[in-house]
Amino acid sequence: MFSLSKFSLARGRYAARFAVTPEDVQAAQALRWRAFIANRGRDGAAQAALDVDAFDADCRHVLVEETGSGQLVCCFRLMPLENGAELERSYSAQFYDLTPLSEYPGKMVEMGRFCIDPACRDPDILRLAWGAVTRFVDAEGIEMLFGCSSFLSTDFDSYTDTFALLAERHLAPRRWRVQVKAPKVIRYARQLLGRKGDPKLAMLKMPPLLRSYLGMGGWVSDHAVVDEDLGTLHVFTGLEIGAIPPARARALRLVAG
């Protein structure tokens, strides 16, 4: 198991490490607030300017910083699970009925609250973040990575090309297809049955994190949850590590070192 104080990964201008102090976690929560809540007319944590929830205490938080300035440019959290029997502990279990995955025998990890500073556009940030995830997955023997992939508004009509592409090409295998649990969902696979979205528009509107998952062979739920607290739509997303194409796996491990 990684030592929280010693794990680090540096490439180019950026370095990834685990949070080791309460101040580190608070810095991640502040970045999450800027990415998810600020400028969206949301209230609640505005006074403290922190995005905090009950799952933070059970997760390992990863920080990606610009090495020259120390600026935090990206963060996410990881919740390792021994197998599918522990899924009810996860953030995703609030929104999805995960029963189809409950008998998954291998180690799993939920990646959540992934965000990049809205002022940063460097693709190397996302590349390094995935390198850090790869290093963790390999060291811990993780067999499935999962989480909620978010679209940054609840305006489904503006994403129909993307959802049509998801329905056509990227739905979860039936044995792993999670069921509806949240009170407000959009059953997009049913709604868009037979519709072919414009691939260029679909990829343009695709969240970068979800695009990465799909490029590695990931899959999504057949419905989207309307999260009115954060003002987003999200889909359950899974990735079986053994299914990552060999060339992509080699590229990830080159970054992971």
Instruction: Break the chain into its structural domains and give their ranges.
Output: 8-256
pLDDT at 8 (0 to 100)? 84
Residue 189 sits at the vertex; the CA angle it makes with 187 and 191, to the nearest 5 degrees, is 65
Q: How far apart are CA 20 and CA 140, in angstroms?
A: 19
- 66 Cβ contact partners less than 8 Å away, ≥ 6 residues apart: 13, 14, 73
pLDDT digit string (tens) for 148-186? 999 989 999 999 999 999 999 999 999 999 999 999 999
> Looking at the domain that runs over 8-256, which CATH code has it been given?
3.40.630.30
- Contact between residue 232 and residue 152 where contact means Cβ atoms under 8 Å apart: yes
Residue 230: band (very low, low, confident or very high) from pLDDT cuts 50, 70, 90: confident
What tokens appear for 147 in the block?
């989480």
Would you call 63 helix, strand, or coil by DSSP? strand
Residue-wise pLDDT for 104-122, tens only, equals 999 999 999 999 999 999 9
Cβ 236 vs Cβ 144: under 8 Å: no
Indicate if the pLDDT at residue 6 is higher than 60: no
For residue 31, CA distances in Å to 28, 61, 101, 132, 240 come to 5, 12, 31, 19, 29
Say if residues 98 and 146 touch (Cβ distance below 8 Å). Answer: no
pLDDT score, position 39: 65
* CA dihedral over 99, 100, 105, 111, signed as positive or negative: negative
In tens, the pLDDT along 133-148 reads 999 999 999 999 999 9
Query: Maximum Cα–Cα distance for the chain, whole Å?
Result: 51
Question: For 60-96, what is each residue's pLDDT tens digit?
Answer: 999 999 999 999 999 999 999 999 999 999 999 999 9
Could you tell me the end-to-end alpha-carbon distance of the chain, in angstroms, rounded to an integer?
17
CA separation (Å) from 219 to 55, 165, 203, 244?
A: 24, 12, 15, 12
Residues 58 and 79: their CA atoms lie apart, in Å, by: 7
